[in-house]
Amino acid sequence: MGHRLFCDAHMADWLHLTRNSAPLVLSIPHAGLGIPPDVEQDLASPFLARLDTDWWVDRLYDFAADLGATIVRTAVSRTVIDVNRDPGEADAGPEQTRVTTGLCPLTTFDGRALYQPGREPAPGIIEARRRLYHEPFHYALAAEVARLRALHPTVVLLDCHAIRSRVQTLLAERLHLFNIGTNGGTSCSTALTFAVARECAASGRSYITNGHFKGGYIVRRHAQPDHGVHTLQLNLACRGYLHEPEEPLSEDNWPVFYDPYFAEPMCQILRRILVQCLKFAQSR
């Protein structure tokens, strides 16, 4: 059965920061479930509003703080605001997808309307959400990167995502389990890309670099590899850590509970990936 764990509508505590001192920052932009009442009343359904959540990614990376990583994540749903979108662009940036979603998405990945007819957010509402959520999220990321850059010659920012294994409007075939994005090789050193890819390959699971997910706005905005800030995106297919249903998703089977025993092998792979990110940063 689906696990209907939705955040309280009170959104005062929507930005979460775990601050540590190792040269590694994790961005978790799409695991949030919170939707304020003034937004929820305009939506088509709570299920569709949270369908494309990066389910349980915050739980999946629970171990990262023990490695000394700083973690910046938002508890607000991507339906309210997608902090991984460029506010100056109407599309999803360089990711090679069949459909795109905007700063305040109007449809799910598979094209279903998120809002009731005629109740989509007006430009003024979108701008207000940008100021309320998008700007503070990126300010927090930039501030943590700058803080750590003052302590270390090199800092790695890993942007952490997950997606359903099959989304026909995005890709005809099933997604690779690991999808590494470095904005076509421009957002980080090739040595870091190779180190992460080696761990994916060593796991025996499928992976691809700069395929359908090249890295979104977070990777592009914060990358400064010539000045010691290396950014990359890691997008996981949900089947790698969740009991993802094979049948079409519905309120009866999605989302599924987070099973830490099932997810543990993925956590071990991710731990090795984060260790490689740290080794890269510490060796520069």
pLDDT tens string 60-100: 999 999 999 999 999 999 999 999 999 987 433 334 344 45
Segment 146-175 mean pLDDT: 92
Structure tokens at 22: 């190792």
Res 271 pLDDT > 60: yes
Q: Map out the domains of the chain as residue ranges.
A: 15-283
Measure the CA–CA gap between 104 and 108, rounded to whole angstroms.
11
Measure the CA–CA gap between 142 and 91, rounded to whole angstroms.
23
Segment 143-149 mean pLDDT: 98
Segment 246-256 mean pLDDT: 93
Res 245 pLDDT > 80: yes
> With bands split at pLDDT 50, 70 and 90, how would you rate the model's confidence at 47?
very high
pLDDT of residue 100: 55
Q: Which CATH architecture has domain 15-283?
A: 3-Layer(aba) Sandwich (3.40)
pLDDT of residue 211: 92
Structure tokens at 256: 């599924």
pLDDT of residue 12: 52
Residues in CB range of 169: below 8 A, 6 or more apart: 97, 98, 99, 109, 110, 111
Segment 188-202 mean pLDDT: 98
The string of pLDDT tens digits covering residues 124-143 is 999 999 999 999 999 999 99
Give the angle subtended at the CA of 111 by the CAs of 176 and 231, to the nearest 5°. 45
Q: Which residue in 82, 60, 203 sits closest to 133, CA to CA? A: 82
pLDDT of residue 171: 73
SS3 15: strand
Measure the CA–CA gap between 210 and 185, rounded to whole angstroms.
8
CB atoms within 10 A of CB 249: 17
Detail the DSSP E strand segments found in the chain. 15-18, 24-28, 70-74, 155-163, 178-181, 207-209, 229-237
